[in-house]
Amino acid sequence: MARQTEFIQLSNEERRSLKTLFSGGNGSNRQHNRARILDLLSKHTPPPEIARLLGCSVMTVYHIKRRFLAEGVESALSEKPRSGKPVSISGEARARITALACSDAPEGHARWTLRLLADKAVEFGFVDSVSHNHVRQILKKTLSDRT
């Protein structure tokens, strides 16, 4: 037997805040999509139909509904912090490493190598430690040409 969908009830204040979000254009596309999901759920639209209309998965609709019921409208509209390792090298240090790579190679070397750049970055005090692979990632993101 199919499961009955439980629809949500929005208060007048919550409905007004969603309308403000729609008309004001403030917020991200993801936040607008979440607001549309809540609005359609309050109008008794079935979750598979909402998913089809908004181009998202049915599970997204259920997750937004569950967060609304558990924590309220603000939590359902906002993003939770994501896990992940924080950036270990500051933007200034990245810029210095890039500038170092663009400079002339040290005496006795024909060109900069990644290992040499990593060693010099530590020697000059740009960073406490950095691997040659991390230097490669920094230079790849800057689109620098080390030739």
Where do the domains of the chain lie? Answer: 12-77, 91-142
**Position 137 pLDDT exceeds 50:** yes
Whether pTM > 0.75 for this model: the answer is no
The pLDDT assigned to 1 comes to 45
Q: What average pLDDT does this structure show over 111-132?
A: 94
Distance CA 106, CA 112 (A): 8
**Of 85 and 66, more confident:** 66
The token pair at 91 is 């933007």
pLDDT of residue 145: 57
Q: What is the pLDDT confidence band of residue 143, given thresholds at 50, 70 and 90?
A: low
Name the H helices within 8-131. Answer: 12-24, 29-42, 47-54, 58-71, 73-77, 91-102, 114-123
In this structure, what token pair is assigned to residue 70? Answer: 């558990």
Q: Which of 120, 27, 39 is nearest to 79 (CA)?
A: 27
